[in-house]
Amino acid sequence: MHEMDVQRMGQRLAGRVLGHDAMQHSATERRVTYSRGKRALWTARAEPLARFAGGRGILRWWWHGTLGSSRSTLDDIVSEGQRHGVEELIRDSVQTESLQTSEALCALAAHLAAADGLLRVDEGDDASFFALYDAGRHMTIPAPPLSAGSLVPAANPSESLPAAPASVPSPSGPTEPSRELVSPVALAMMSFVQASLPSGFRQALLAVMVDAQGEKARIFVHLTAADANGDLQSLEPSQRLFDSVVVMISEQRRRGGSELHRLVLRLRPTDRGASIDVTVT
């Protein structure tokens, strides 16, 4: 099940950290950085996934021994296990017997949780596994009120932007929009996805492409969400969402962010609203 997808996840991770000669992992900060010399190649958020007890041959998932119903980025693993009838993903601990079997099972789990990779940290005969997510920038937003206007589709899925002021120098690389610019987009995105999928959703992905042509640029917006059953849904952005994206990109360019070519907002619902991960290229 998902064998090729798991393999591709591993290949993408290998490509991100190709040539690295050092890896720094901080369990307290939930962060890992792969580097070559003094240059950081990739920084990721490391979510605790499972721990293998070598002496007993047991793999314990992250929720082993915990109580409560708080949502986690990794909840999709259990949901997918239930959907496909995979007992190893439903029980809080599994008798795997070997480290290799445990790693293969954790790689599948990481893929089902939409992770960007898997990290194994050996500790003698034991090992800890972490699901890796591109660090980008992380923020949280409160749950916005539902609005009927959230479902009005955008009249035009793309729009041309004026040239950035010549007096503002372009940065040497892509720069992330500030929280004040991202928040309106995240709130509009959350409202629209909630209204479009009233039964709930697991996560949503907003991709903004900026096609720079000389001094001008054209933007394109695509929105995809996984519904409550985990099925992907392609959603047509609302006018409010599209307008908020235009404002964000226009203001970012005015402030000197003209080198931004692609921005991705990954939204996951939480008990208090949603968590947002922002990455730019």
Q: Which pLDDT tens digit goes with each residue over 213-231?
A: 666 668 889 999 999 888 9
Nearest alpha carbon to residue 89 among 111, 104, 105:
105
Would you kindly state where each structural domain of the chain is located, as residue ranges?
3-134, 137-280
The radius of gyration of the chain's CA atoms, rounded to the nearest angstrom, is 21
How much is the pLDDT for 127? 96
Residue 170 has pLDDT above 50, yes or no: no
Q: How far apart are CA 267 and CA 193, in angstroms?
A: 10
Can you tell me the mean pLDDT for 59-85?
71
Tens digit of each residue's pLDDT (9 = 90 or more) over 97-107: 999 999 999 99
Q: Provide the CATH number for the domain formed by 137-280 in this structure.
A: 3.30.500
Tens digit of each residue's pLDDT (9 = 90 or more) over 103-126: 999 999 998 888 889 999 999 999
Structural contact between residues 254 and 189, judged by C-beta atoms closer than 8 angstroms = no
How much is the pLDDT for 153? 56
Nearest alpha carbon to residue 260 among 147, 155, 195, 176:
176
Residue 174 has pLDDT above 80, yes or no: no
Q: How far apart are CA 224 and CA 202, in angstroms?
A: 11
The whole-model pTM stands at 0.54
Residue 162 has pLDDT above 90, yes or no: no
Given its phi and psi angles, is residue 120 left (phi above 0), alpha (psi -120 to 50 degrees) or beta?
beta
> Rounded to 5 degrees, what are φ and ψ at 210?
-115, 110
More confident residue, 71 or 40: 40
Structural contact between residues 131 and 115, judged by C-beta atoms closer than 8 angstroms = yes
Averaged pLDDT of the chain: 80
Residue 43 has pLDDT above 70, yes or no: yes
Q: Which long-range contacts (CB under 8 A, 24 or more apart) does 148-151 make?
A: 148/195, 149/238, 149/240, 150/188, 150/191, 150/192, 150/194, 150/195, 150/196, 150/238, 150/240, 151/192, 151/195, 151/196, 151/238
More confident residue, 5 or 85: 5
Q: What is the percent of the chain with per-residue pLDDT over 70, rounded to a whole number?
A: 77
Q: How far apart are CA 120 and CA 135, in angstroms?
A: 18
Residue 136 has pLDDT above 90, yes or no: no
Place of tokens 């959907």: 83
User: Which DSSP string corresponds to 25-93?
Assistant: EETTTTEEEEEETTEEEEEEEEEEEEEEETTTTEEEETTTT--S----TTHHHHHHHHHHT-GGGTSSE
More confident residue, 249 or 71: 249
